[in-house]
Chains A and B, each alone.
Chain A
């Protein structure tokens, strides 16, 4: 069975500082990996995804993530955060393209001035 663990429930950071949100997954088969962002009382917006190919994936809003198969990780990074990046971030895994997503517990990123 698949599972996703987001190691940090809350990450406070100052504006313009770098940030890394950690995600580890467990699966017995090859997976597709995703990071989503959720602003209060809204749905989810896709930040980036790993389907195959290059393990370094670049997404929207300056975010990137690296797929590490040996460590079963897919950590999200941004070199310099903005106040507007304050939101909840979810890592998700799927065993099929277009298949159901299993979400991690979420990480609340709080960017302070």
Chain B
């Protein structure tokens, strides 16, 4: 089956620093990747949609200068949280859509803690 990985699985960073999260489709080419954010005991909120080779489309209320998304290849998208603050602490999940059945496959998530 289609596998999506995320790295790192958890990260702790200091307030004011930047952190990069990688999302990779391991055995298929992902034309589109999505980034979601999930607070404890809450649902997933879509942050942005990224297509390979083009700029990401951000959802309303998501700061594009703070959450930088790059989708440089058909198997890799990155989310960089710039100048992180404690309120950015959350569970970040990516998903990737293949070219065959258009199903979204989810990564295992990255737990970000900003101290």
Partner of B43, one of A41, A100, A104: A104
- Whether B93 and A101, one on each chain, are in contact in the complex, defined by CB atoms closer than 8 angstroms, is no
A53 at the interface (CB under 8 A from B): no
Flag the segment in B14-22, B69-77, B80-88, B98-106 that touches A: B98-106
In chain A, positions 97-111 with a C-beta closer than 8 Å to chain B are: 97-98, 100-106
CA distance A36 to B44 in the complex (A): 11
* Bound CA–CA A36/B93 (angstroms): 14
Q: A43-B108, A44-B93 are in contact. Are A103 and B44 (CB under 8 A)?
A: yes
17 A-B pairs in the complex with CB atoms less than 8 angstroms apart: A41-B109, A41-B111, A42-B109, A43-B93, A43-B107, A44-B95, A49-B103, A90-B44, A98-B32, A98-B104, A100-B46, A101-B34, A101-B44, A101-B95, A102-B46, A104-B43, A105-B42
* In the bound complex, CA of A104 to CA of B6 (Å): 24
Q: Is the CB of A101 within 8 A of B46?
A: yes
**CB proximity to B under 8 Å, residues A25-69:** 36, 41-46, 49
Number of interface residues of A (CB under 8 A): 18
The chain B residue with its CB closest to the CB of A96 is B102
Q: Which residue of A36, A98, A103 is within 8 Å of B102 (Cβ)?
A: A98
Question: How far apart are the CA atoms of A36 and B104 in the complex, in Å?
Answer: 11
CA distance A101 to B107 in the complex (A): 15
B97 within 8 A of A: yes
Instruction: Tell me the bound Cα distance from A101 to B106 in angstroms.
Output: 12
Q: Do residues B104 and A106 form an inter-chain contact, with CB atoms below 8 A?
A: no
The answer to whether A43 touches B42, judged by C-beta atoms less than 8 angstroms apart, is no
**Residue numbers in B under 8 Å from A36 (CB-CB):** 106
